[in-house]
Structure 1
Amino acid sequence: MRPKLAARAPGRPAGDKRTNGSGSVRLRGKTWTARLSLGEAGRPTFKLPTCRTEQEANARLKVLAELAGRLLAAGQIVLGMPLLEQAAAREGNALRDVRLAIDQLCRGEARARATGETTFAEFAERVLSGQLAEQYPDHVKTIRSADDYRSRLAHVLEVLGPVPLARFTLDHADHAMSLLPGHLQSGTRQKIAQIIHRILALATYPARVIGSNPLPRGWIPKNDDEKAKGYLYPDEDHRLMRCQAIPLCFRIYYGFLDREGMRADEAGRLEWSDVDLERGAVVLDENKTDDPRAWALSPDVVRALRKWRELCPDNARVFVGKWGNALPGHNGAKNFRDHLRRAGIDRPELFETTDSRLNIRLHDTRATFITVKLAVGRTETWISDRTGHSSSDQIHNYKRAARKVAELALGDFAPLDEVLPELSAKGGSAAGGGPASGEHEAGAASDEGSIAAAPPCDVVTRSDVAGAAAAAMDAPEDGRLGPRWAMPEEDLVRRKPEPIEIIVVSSDRSPAPGKKPKNFPGSALTAGPGAAWHHLTRSHRKTWATSRYTSGAPDGLG
């Protein structure tokens, strides 16, 4: 494959020699970069982490060229290089602050800071941007959720940001923590303190900006906010999976989380290349704890994923939303609770936050998985292989709830490929999938709804299933529940059978009206080569029916 050519700087004709302040953009891997000609500063390359397209990269190049031109004219290009790097990576108010700093430098109002006067905010940005990880790859790991760290640091940055690290003291940190909003939970306060401590520890080593960490051991507050967390019962999971008012892309996502115990963000980033559908395994190399793990998926989950991929073969990710975005997005917990209500699940403890309990979150699908699997007899080792828990104490916290589920004899989850109507309509188990495990068979046996996934009197074609999936993809992801969802979805199991009419087309003599033909489905005999069954629409049945079976119809034909 021929390498991509660098895009020409906007406004520069082809063949013109580059002058100071001009440059080009280039895509390196998945990150756009800009290269500028800056006279005595050479031709440095700037990363553009916020740019996603070539148009955005060229627009940022134009901004950098304008700022670099002002620095060159003022003779401050060498001192202004760090500011240009920040201008390449920042947006909004942060970019505005960089512009103001460059204005001051060009007017001669700013001076070069002496070595050792790096501020807390500047060093924190080096950590969060990944610059420190590039400089010390053996000791510092790149932070994947830098935005979460920035949002937490925002509570203390106004106080701690301007403080030079060389003069940072315990009093500074205590003062910042005392000014935190009172509504913050103790867990959030603990995370903010951990970030402050971590930044100062990195400034001590490997950066060696300061000689020692001014925060003593034990300074990080303890989290006393251990509230009870919610989880779904197997029958509630079944009701959620069956509710076709919820987009299919969300239901298969929730069902996968409940049955495999993966973190929601891990499943959201999961790609088809991580899943071996032929052998039924998944490999998760990148995760929160940087501890690669792999395990065998449940057979019913494998069969469901095979059918799901047939409906969305062009997606690189396994679970995607309306625009191909990774699920759950920024509002996973809210969508999850809205979908539970839409499915008619109204257990109060799932939706209430009190002094001792949290309302259910998308992350609590892991609690659902651990609780139910402990209740059906799975070992802690089997569970930790899937969840990634490194300590038995973490799983021990779920044993009390698991004993409750076991005593209530609630069983296991229904097979995913059978409980989702759109997938069960595609037929039986996929080839090579094998029978479901014993636990799934037990759960299916106790769940009457799993045998009524799709009425046998309706022939569902591939186009019908694809249409249902497309409708699910187009459904709003974060819309408010309207009045039409005020009532729970009608339970398909409790619905009374409606009278239906069937026409039998056979090469043999038709039976007398009111009598059951020999090859009737459900009898000991099966339809032979000389007989064919055609399930017609209700209007056709009324017109062409030759045999009627109403109250005497077998189960599943209503």
Structure 2
Amino acid sequence: MASSTQRPKPTARAAGEKRANGSGSVRLRGRTWTARLSLGEAGRRTFSLPTCRTEQEADARLEVLSELAGRLLAAGQIVIGVPLLEQAAAREGTALRDVRLAIDQLCKGEARPRSSGDTTFAEFAERVLSGQLAEQYPLHVKPLRHPEQYRHKLNHVLGVLGPVPLTRFTVDHADRAVSILPAHLEASSRQGIAKVIHRILALATYPARIIANNPLPRGWVPKADNNKAKSSLYPDEDRRLMAAVDIPLSYRIYYGFLIREGMRADEAGRLEPSDLDLERGAIVLDENKTDDPRAWALSPDVVRALRVYFAMCAPKQRVFSRPSGLPLPGRDGAKTFRDHLRCAGIDRPELFETTESRLNIRLHDTRATFITIKLANGRTETWISDRTGHKSSSQIHHYKRAARKVAELGLGDFAPLDEAIPELRGKGRAVGGARLSGGAEAGAAGEGRFLGAAPPGQTPASADVPAASAADHEAAADGAALGPRWATPAPSAAAEQPEVIEMVSVSSTRPASARKYRQKNRSVTSGRRKWQRFS
């Protein structure tokens, strides 16, 4: 079945007359419409129209192709412009607009595409990493928060995949790139590289619409072996780490915060002073890995420790920083963390060995330490996920076996941070700052009763259920308290005084009308009960 757009029908041509350059017809082949055009020195070409479902749509697309082909013929660029016509036949919307712009530049002499006319894998990956694709499609593509991590993974495969045009990309290209990865890479690293390749091709499919389908089949991304045992610290080892004065104080307060609050190391490394409200003992974390803003009440001992620490070392751009002023490491702090553990005299072999079934301890395992010890001391999954940001119960379930061991051994909970660090011990009363509100401390103490109390015979440590001290009820000292911009000032002494209420004597004698109404109501109720009994 063939049809032509509003052009002279073939029967109107004289015998032997050739079809004019730029003209053509459409034809249904199987279930796909195609367009055949005469392109001068490029000959007659057939273009697939995968987005057309009816003859009317095919005729409309033929008019677009004829118009673009006419411009390329007039500019003398038809030979190298054929690949652009192929893309124009298969694209719609914004993608078709991009092809029109490319043809405009080619006809004006402003650009001269390669012979294939296709975007390569490396070129499109750069659009993704640079944020250009997110600017072009803000509703479908989010800007990368850490593009350098993606760039590091792609560097392993760009030598093989970089020059491959996306329209010619096959699963064989991806298989070859993954097969020549360095042998020392772990299974999780190989999986991460494969995920980035798959993501780049998925974005090229939609919303960029450079290719019709992702050439990587479902299940191509390899499974990572997540069954390796992960290490965590015991409460007594945490106390030894906090007491090691040979380790810089800035590192110990950082480690202690991670172990007691369960944050990711890179999240804590990016904390700014405005994210903390030490007047009320709260933290707000709007930007994080999962894009799920969360806020929670800090442990009272952590609040007291931070107040003393900030009085000694005022925070600048970041809450936690090295003695040199640079931000503390996030993902790259594993080696330094292990060195500090050895410096503290912690030499448990399983913390420092990597085998086929176990990983050595990493800075990220401070989260595992937090979850394990808090589960062992009766904290609920909800309480834990508020701090860690875990999305499902299954993610926390992996730590329950280790938590049962800690509970059975009776290892207890973490020591209060302001008492575990020698430089901060006993200095809480001398540091200015408003006391923790009664509601925050009462909530911390009452949560054990209502949200999952400790098992029988096991009492939560003072880090979670602190006893009220005289320092906690002292008035605020002079000086501005550290807190976010949205924090409201504490009420004045006059505002805290109870309001005087006038006492009015009310007689217990009810009016006669009220007594009659109650007697009448009783008789009606009694009649209803009798009727229900007999019915």
What TM-score bracket applies, with the shorter chain setting the length? 0.5 to 0.7
SS at match of 1:282: strand
Q: Is 1:357 equivalent to 2:358 in the alignment?
A: yes
Match of 2:436 among 427, 433, 438: 433
- Partner Cα separation in structure 2 for residue 400 and residue 330 of structure 1: 26
1:323 positional shift: 2.8
1:116 positional shift: 5.3
- Partner Cα separation in structure 1 for residue 376 and residue 315 of structure 2: 38
- Partner Cα separation in structure 2 for residue 386 and residue 307 of structure 1: 23
* Residue deviations 1:483-538 (CA, integer Å, cap 9, x gap): xxxxxxxxxxxxxxxxxxxxxxxxxxxxxxxxxxxxxxxxxxxxxxxxxxxxxxxx
1:426 positional shift: 2.0
Q: Which residue of 2 is the match for residue 165 of structure 1?
A: 166
Amino acid of the structure 2 residue aligned with 1:180 = L
Amino acid of the structure 1 residue aligned with 2:184 = H
Matched-pair contact (CA < 8 Å) for 1:272–1:317: yes
Q: Which residue of 2 is the match for residue 155 of structure 1?
A: 156
Q: Is 1:343 equivalent to 2:344 in the alignment?
A: yes
- Partner Cα separation in structure 2 for residue 209 and residue 429 of structure 1: 65
Q: Which residue of 2 is the match for residue 86 of structure 1?
A: none
Q: Which residue of 1 is the match for residue 369 of structure 2?
A: 368
Cα distance change on mapping 1:427 and 1:383 into 2, 3 Å: closer
SS at match of 1:443: coil
Gaps of 5+ in 2: 1-108, 449-457, 464-535
1:154 positional shift: 1.3
Q: Which residue of 1 is the match for residue 404 of structure 2?
A: 403
Q: Which residue of 2 is the match for residue 443 of structure 1?
A: 461
Cα distance change on mapping 1:140 and 1:125 into 2, 3 Å: same
Matched-pair contact (CA < 8 Å) for 2:308–2:428: no
Q: Which residue of 2 is the match for residue 175 of structure 1?
A: 176
Amino acid of the structure 1 residue aligned with 2:461 = G
Q: Which residue of 1 is the match for residue 231 of structure 2?
A: 230
Gaps of 5+ in 1: 1-107, 446-558
Amino acid of the structure 2 residue aligned with 1:144 = R
1:397 positional shift: 0.3
Task: Give 1:44-59 correspondences, 5 Å limit.
Answer: none
Amino acid of the structure 2 residue aligned with 1:360 = I
Q: Which residue of 2 is the match for residue 323 of structure 1?
A: 324
- Partner Cα separation in structure 1 for residue 115 and residue 282 of structure 2: 56
Task: Give 1:173-212 correspondences, 5 Å limit.
Answer: 173-212=174-213
1:321 positional shift: 0.9
- Partner Cα separation in structure 1 for residue 374 and residue 398 of structure 2: 14
- Partner Cα separation in structure 2 for residue 323 and residue 114 of structure 1: 54
- Partner Cα separation in structure 1 for residue 230 and residue 171 of structure 2: 35
Cα distance change on mapping 1:312 and 1:115 into 2, 3 Å: farther
Task: Give 1:512-527 correspondences, 5 Å limit.
Answer: none
Q: Percent identity?
A: 72
Amino acid of the structure 1 residue aligned with 2:164 = V
- Partner Cα separation in structure 2 for residue 432 and residue 209 of structure 1: 60
SS at match of 1:294: strand
1:312 positional shift: 2.3
- Partner Cα separation in structure 2 for residue 115 and residue 385 of structure 1: 52
Amino acid of the structure 2 residue aligned with 1:368 = T
Amino acid of the structure 2 residue aligned with 1:421 = P
Q: Tell me how large the CA RMSD over aligned residues is.
A: 2.2
SS at match of 2:259: helix
- Partner Cα separation in structure 1 for residue 459 and residue 317 of structure 2: 32
Amino acid of the structure 1 residue aligned with 2:146 = S
Q: Which residue of 1 is the match for residue 302 of structure 2?
A: 301
Cα distance change on mapping 1:250 and 1:314 into 2, 3 Å: closer
- Partner Cα separation in structure 1 for residue 376 and residue 171 of structure 2: 48
- Partner Cα separation in structure 1 for residue 354 and residue 402 of structure 2: 18
* Residue deviations 1:334-353 (CA, integer Å, cap 9, x gap): 11000000000000000000
- Partner Cα separation in structure 2 for residue 356 and residue 275 of structure 1: 39
1:185 positional shift: 1.2
Q: Which residue of 1 is the match for residue 276 of structure 2?
A: 275
- Partner Cα separation in structure 2 for residue 363 and residue 314 of structure 1: 23
1:150 positional shift: 1.3
1:248 positional shift: 0.3
Aligned positions, number? 337
SS at match of 2:280: coil
SS at match of 1:295: strand
- Partner Cα separation in structure 2 for residue 174 and residue 261 of structure 1: 38
- Partner Cα separation in structure 2 for residue 162 and residue 152 of structure 1: 17
SS at match of 2:287: coil
Cα distance change on mapping 1:296 and 1:330 into 2, 3 Å: closer
Matched-pair contact (CA < 8 Å) for 1:303–1:433: no
- Partner Cα separation in structure 2 for residue 380 and residue 370 of structure 1: 9
Q: Which residue of 2 is the match for residue 264 of structure 1?
A: 265
Amino acid of the structure 2 residue aligned with 1:309 = F
Amino acid of the structure 2 residue aligned with 1:164 = P
Q: Which residue of 2 is the match for residue 388 of structure 1?
A: 389
- Partner Cα separation in structure 2 for residue 257 and residue 330 of structure 1: 13
- Partner Cα separation in structure 1 for residue 230 and residue 348 of structure 2: 13
Q: Which residue of 2 is the match for residue 479 of structure 1?
A: none
* Residue deviations 1:429-487 (CA, integer Å, cap 9, x gap): 86513769568985369xxxxxxxxxxxxxxxxxxxxxxxxxxxxxxxxxxxxxxxxxx
Matched-pair contact (CA < 8 Å) for 1:116–1:166: no
- Partner Cα separation in structure 2 for residue 115 and residue 167 of structure 1: 10
* Residue deviations 1:248-307 (CA, integer Å, cap 9, x gap): 000000000000000000000001100111111101000001111111110111111111
1:310 positional shift: 1.2
1:328 positional shift: 1.4
1:182 positional shift: 2.1
Cα distance change on mapping 1:429 and 1:417 into 2, 3 Å: farther
SS at match of 1:394: helix
- Partner Cα separation in structure 1 for residue 229 and residue 302 of structure 2: 29
SS at match of 2:295: strand
1:314 positional shift: 4.8
- Partner Cα separation in structure 2 for residue 301 and residue 224 of structure 1: 36
- Partner Cα separation in structure 1 for residue 119 and residue 276 of structure 2: 46
SS at match of 1:362: coil
1:129 positional shift: 1.3
- Partner Cα separation in structure 2 for residue 429 and residue 200 of structure 1: 59
Q: Which residue of 2 is the match for residue 423 of structure 1?
A: 424
1:214 positional shift: 0.7
- Partner Cα separation in structure 1 for residue 269 and residue 114 of structure 2: 44
- Partner Cα separation in structure 2 for residue 115 and residue 291 of structure 1: 43
Q: Which residue of 2 is the match for residue 77 of structure 1?
A: none
Amino acid of the structure 2 residue aligned with 1:140 = V
1:428 positional shift: 3.8
Q: Which residue of 1 is the match for residue 129 of structure 2?
A: 128
- Partner Cα separation in structure 2 for residue 321 and residue 409 of structure 1: 35
SS at match of 2:461: helix
Amino acid of the structure 1 residue aligned with 2:149 = D
Amino acid of the structure 1 residue aligned with 2:353 = E
SS at match of 1:319: coil
Amino acid of the structure 2 residue aligned with 1:226 = N
Amino acid of the structure 1 residue aligned with 2:323 = K
Matched-pair contact (CA < 8 Å) for 2:261–2:298: yes
1:330 positional shift: 6.3
